Amino acid sequence: MSTLVPPAPTTDATDTPDPRFDDLGLPAALERAVADLGFVTPSAIQAQAIPALLAGRDIVGVAQTGTGKTAAFGLPLLASVDAGTAGVQAVVLTPTRELAMQVADAISSFATHLTGLGVVAVYGGSPFLPQQRALARGAQVVVGTPGRVLDHLDRGTLVMDQVRYLVLDEADEMLRMGFAEDVDRVLSSTPDRRQVALFSATMPAPIRRVAEQHLHQPVEITVARQSSTVTTVRQTYAVVPHRHKVGALGRVLSVTDADATIVFVRTRGAAEEVGSALVERGISAAHISGDVAQSDREKIVDRLRTGALDVLVATDVAARGLDVERIGLVVNFDVPREAETYVHRIGRTGRAGREGEALSFVTPSEQSRLRSIERTTRVPMEQVQIPSPAEVSGHRVTRLLDRAPGRAELGRLDVYREAIAAHLAAHPGTDPVDLLASVAALAVGDEGPAARTGDDLDDALERARLTPGRTERTVSHDDRPPRERRRSDTHIAGGPPRWRVAVGHRDGLQPGALVGALTGEGGLTGKDVGKIDIFGSFALVDIPGGLTADAVDRLARARVAGRPLRIRMDTGPRPGHGASRPSHGPQRGRS
């Protein structure tokens, strides 16, 4: 099933505000099911088809995939079926077996609160008997391919005398597959007074003829190809060499005002890699891909919805149909090859009338792909720059200062006032604002312009800007094998200061043992030790107050879980430091 392209302008354009599912006149049991599925705003085709079908009209709907057609016909279909009476009352024809199964599943999910309602999928290439049994049990809704539906009809295992609702889904596809005659026969085998809904992405003459011959004064609904999201979401791009994408992403996420962000990546591996890299940087992130079990995916999406999670890294498949209002930013970590994929991706934001932004990372050599997307969406993308370390720090300090009044209310500031007074007395002539500025810089982890950040992100960004025609490889001077190259992607400059120890849960590291070493050998108190994230072969720990050179020396030699700690300031993974990739995701030790 493809993703939903949100409400789109229609040929008979209406300027009325978006309706809600509750306004469409659906029975309460169906409204509840739709709410369970997280649908709030009906798509354009739903908003128009549902009232017409509920009113008993035939319809012809011209709409692309991803516009939400299944609910557009499935909900009124269920409204017209009597779950208390056995026997086939509604038939949906689909071109393929996969679609038949998908549509049957979707209709079943809409029918969860209708007791006694049976949905059966019938398709070729699979034994008759189970389908026949399901039909014999009195299923009221049949979804199937035309050939198999006719087979059942001919065998007498499917009786269509009571059918009052017929749907032709993807009619043009059925015709292309040579089902024209079969479709005709099914239509002719149903009672004259049944209602018909015909959906097609295109309207060639043969489909018009079917409509003229079998439908009764149909309402025509056309949903334009281009979704309105394409025009309401601010679309931007930034030129970023491949190996610096994670670094750039970290900065973007540090300064965004969006409540929640989706980062789209192409592969499952990339989802895990980028997700873990963000977690390593202290960002509230998780990833979903085809590898993540459906139930886990749902839990993660729920956390995103409730605000327990801010960043979701996802593959296209895993994020299908995702509808979370909080998403204010979509980042395309890679530019999709298909413009349609791009449109689906950016449709995850700007939901329910909110503002949205889409940012696409494009490598210097990929810029032509943007042009082809722009040709499809007919909306130019605006080039933006990745925030500089100074901008990231500026954003952090603003947020820090915003929190200051709240902290003041909590009291116990005397200890700080006294320390500051003592400092000013000891350093006469110090400007208190200068002092506050230095303290703020330390608090946000800004070590100044001379700090060795370990990456050349800004250099690379600068060069990519100046030499847009050059290839990525030339720009990044990266000759290491791809695996190592990916590792160093995970470095982000300007993050909060964290410390890395070379012991992880593969070594059986427990948070308590690490705290023990830090307090024992390092001379810290328990309160000096902040959040600990334990990965496969290493762990990261927040020590907001920092460590003295002496303490680092002692700790570097200290052993935990039988292994030397090798503590160092975390500057991100570097080649040659071994496999430091999180193997099982972090274990939250303390926070």
Region of 65-73, 119-127, 205-213, 311-319 interacting with Mg ion (CB under 5 A) = 65-73
Could you say whether residue 3 binds ligand ADP (CB under 6 A)? Answer: yes
Question: Cα separation of 419 and 66, whole Å?
Answer: 62
Tokens of 516: 């023990």
Is 271:333 a contact under the CB 8 Å cutoff? no
Closer CB to ligand ADP, residue 318 or residue 529? 318
* Nearest alpha-carbon partner for 93 in 3, 170, 189, 192: 170
Binder among 49, 52, 71, 515 for ligand ADP (CB under 6 A): 71
**Helix (H), strand (E) at residue 336:** none
Residues across the chain: 591
Could you say whether residue 69 binds ligand ADP (CB under 6 A)? Answer: yes
Could you say whether residue 66 binds ligand ADP (CB under 6 A)? Answer: yes
With CB under 5 to 8 Å by kind, the binding choice for 48 among ligand ADP, Mg ion, none is none
Closer CB to ligand ADP, residue 4 or residue 78? 4
Is 377:236 a contact under the CB 8 Å cutoff? no
* Nearest alpha-carbon partner for 110 in 50, 40, 166, 36: 36
With CB under 5 to 8 Å by kind, the binding choice for 485 among Mg ion, ligand ADP, none is none
Return the number of other C-beta atoms located less than 10 Å from residue 264's C-beta.
29
Could you say whether residue 65 binds ligand ADP (CB under 6 A)? Answer: yes
Could you say whether residue 254 binds ligand ADP (CB under 6 A)? Answer: no
Could you say whether residue 76 binds ligand ADP (CB under 6 A)? Answer: no
Interface positions, 14-33, toward ligand ADP (CB under 6 A): none
Question: Cα separation of 563 and 574, whole Å?
Answer: 20
Q: Which residue is nearest to Mg ion (CB)?
A: 69
Closer CB to ligand ADP, residue 320 or residue 568? 320
3-state secondary structure 199-243: EECCCCHHHHHHHHHHCCCCEEEEECCCCCHHHHEEEEEEECCHH
The binding track of 460-499 with respect to ligand ADP, each residue x by CB under 6 A or -, is ----------------------------------------
* Nearest alpha-carbon partner for 373 in 381, 364, 365: 381
DSSP string, 564-578: E---EE-----TTS-
With CB under 5 to 8 Å by kind, the binding choice for 556 among Mg ion, ligand ADP, none is none
Could you say whether residue 321 binds ligand ADP (CB under 6 A)? Answer: yes
Question: Cα separation of 169 and 91, whole Å?
Answer: 11
Could you say whether residue 43 binds ligand ADP (CB under 6 A)? Answer: yes
* 152 CB-contact burial (10 Å; exposed 0-12 / middle 13-18 / buried 19+): buried
Q: How far is the CB of 65 from Mg ion (least distance, A)?
A: 6
With CB under 5 to 8 Å by kind, the binding choice for 2 among Mg ion, ligand ADP, none is ligand ADP
Closer CB to Mg ion, residue 69 or residue 287? 69
Task: Enter the DSSP assignment of 410.
Answer: T
Binder among 268, 320, 563, 574 for ligand ADP (CB under 6 A): 320
Which long-range contacts link 206-211 to residues 24+ away (Cβ below 8 Å)? 206/175, 206/180, 207/171, 207/172, 207/175, 210/168, 210/171, 210/180, 210/183, 210/184, 211/60
Q: Which residue is nearest to ligand ADP (CB)?
A: 321
Closer CB to ligand ADP, residue 63 or residue 464? 63
Q: How far is the CB of 213 from ligand ADP (least distance, A)?
A: 24
With CB under 5 to 8 Å by kind, the binding choice for 536 among Mg ion, ligand ADP, none is none
Return the number of other C-beta atoms located less than 10 Å from residue 526's C-beta.
10
Could you say whether residue 39 binds ligand ADP (CB under 6 A)? Answer: yes
End-to-end Cα distance, the chain? 40
Q: How far is the CB of 219 from ligand ADP (least distance, A)?
A: 18
Is 139:130 a contact under the CB 8 Å cutoff? no
Question: Cα separation of 36 and 27, whole Å?
Answer: 14
Closer CB to Mg ion, residue 43 or residue 349? 43
Number of residues that bind ligand ADP (CB under 6 A): 20
Could you say whether residue 4 binds ligand ADP (CB under 6 A)? Answer: yes
Closer CB to ligand ADP, residue 214 or residue 344? 344
Q: How far is the CB of 245 from ligand ADP (least distance, A)?
A: 28
Closer CB to Mg ion, residue 69 or residue 297? 69
With CB under 5 to 8 Å by kind, the binding choice for 109 among Mg ion, ligand ADP, none is none
With CB under 5 to 8 Å by kind, the binding choice for 320 among ligand ADP, Mg ion, none is ligand ADP
Region of 2-10, 328-336, 383-391, 566-574 interacting with ligand ADP (CB under 6 A) = 2-10
Closer CB to ligand ADP, residue 179 or residue 361? 179
Could you say whether residue 42 binds ligand ADP (CB under 6 A)? Answer: yes
Question: Cα separation of 41 and 33, whole Å?
Answer: 14
Closer CB to ligand ADP, residue 154 or residue 338? 338
3-class DSSP assignment, residue 156: coil
Question: Cα separation of 148 and 428, whole Å?
Answer: 91
Burial code (b: 16+ CB inside 10 Å, e: under 16) for 371-401 equals eebbeebeeebeeeebbbbeebbebbbeeee
Closer CB to ligand ADP, residue 201 or residue 561? 201
Could you say whether residue 110 binds ligand ADP (CB under 6 A)? Answer: no
Closer CB to ligand ADP, residue 67 or residue 360? 67
Q: Which residue has the tokens 């608090």?
A: 443
With CB under 5 to 8 Å by kind, the binding choice for 323 among ligand ADP, Mg ion, none is ligand ADP
Binding-site ranges for Mg ion (CB under 5 A):
69
Binding site for ligand ADP (CB under 6 A): 1-4, 39, 41-43, 46, 63, 65-71, 320-321, 323
